[in-house]
Structure 1
Amino acid sequence: MVDILLISHGPFCEGLLASLQMIAGPQEHVEALSLKEGQSPDDYRDQIEAKLKTFKKKSLVFCDIKGGTPYNSAGFLKSKFDFDLITGMNLPMLISVVTTRTESSTVDELTNTALMNENKGIELINLSNQGGHKHAKLSLNKD
């Protein structure tokens, strides 16, 4: 199974993993490693390297933003390890990846899934109904 590492500034990646597991259930081979406030970039890069060493084959690394310390740390390690690095991770993207991932999935297949337009997760929702009063149904119950 493809190993997945989530990296971010602060606990963002840990929160995404917790939310992902709340929705999709417990996930094997998915881990989060956050950059702590005040942590040196070298120390963080060493932590990422130690985690990547445990992966048996090509893996996926998701990070919060391009250009930050998590991204730069992973980018530096690309010369030593085989992984795809995807920036801008979000919950819809991760749900799509883990719910389509199987024992025989390849990193390329999962990368393509992550990059699908449907996984961007950004849209404006207008519930105003031209100023009328329309209430959304919040439950599947009849009452």
Structure 2
Amino acid sequence: MKKILIATHGEFAEGIMSSAEIILGKQENLFFINAHVDHIPVDKKIETFLAENVSEDDNLIIITDVFGGSVNQTAIRYLSSGKVNIITGFNLPLLLELIMLNESDITPEKLKEITEKSKEQIIYVNDELLKVNDEDDEFEL
């Protein structure tokens, strides 16, 4: 079964999970870990999550906020634990794509494609509006 764990510094994980569930509804296989918000080390939180929620047959996708950050470094330790994929530096469009992804499509190629597509959603709006204004004189800010 596909399972997605969002693990971030602070309460970002919980917040973005809430946003995803507002859009797509409650997700049975979506989990979060808020790291560094209490006295429990992130490695203990991940170990507990794995023990309680993940079996050998599951496809686990872990998404973290910062490559090289403590949460990502900790998650990397679990790459050898069965079918684990880690994506870091994510946004809401990426999370939504992963949630809607069929389990049979969980391949390195598909995950790379989704990651690349999500980068296109990071847009400097000022420039986009200037392009629209140049193309269509009727649209104004």
Q: 1:134 aligns with which of 122, 136, 139?
A: 139
Aligned residue for 1:15, secondary structure, equals helix
Structure 2 match to 1:98: 99
Aligned residue for 1:105, secondary structure, equals helix
Superposition misfits of 4+ residues, deviation over 6 angstroms: none
Alignment: residue pair count: 131
Distance 1:91 1:108 in 2: 20
Distance 1:118 1:107 in 2: 16
Percentage of pairs with the same residue: 25
Contact 2:11 2:37 in 1 (8 A): no
- Answer yes or no: is 1:15 the counterpart of 2:20: no
Aligned residue for 2:107, secondary structure, equals helix
Distance 1:83 1:71 in 2: 13
Taking structure 1 as the reference length, the TM-score comes to: 0.77
Change (3 A) 1:47 1:127: same
How far is 1:80 from its partner? 3.7
Structure 2, unmatched stretches of 5+, are none
CA deviations on 1:15-44 (whole Å, 9 max, x unpaired) are 11000011111111100101124646xx21
Structure 1 match to 2:43: 45
Distance 2:67 2:80 in 1: 18
How far is 1:97 from its partner? 1.5
1:1-143 equivalence runs, <5 A: 1-37=1-37, 39=39, 43-53=41-51, 54-56=53-55, 57-99=58-100, 101-102=101-102, 104-108=103-107, 111-115=111-115, 117-120=116-119, 121-125=121-125, 126-128=128-130, 129=133, 134=139
CA deviations on 1:60-105 (whole Å, 9 max, x unpaired) are 1000011111101111222345310110111010111212x23x43
Contact 2:78 2:84 in 1 (8 A): no
- The structure carrying a bigger helix percent of its residues is 2
Taking structure 2 as the reference length, the TM-score comes to: 0.78
Instruction: Calculate the aligned-residue CA RMSD, in Å.
Output: 2.5
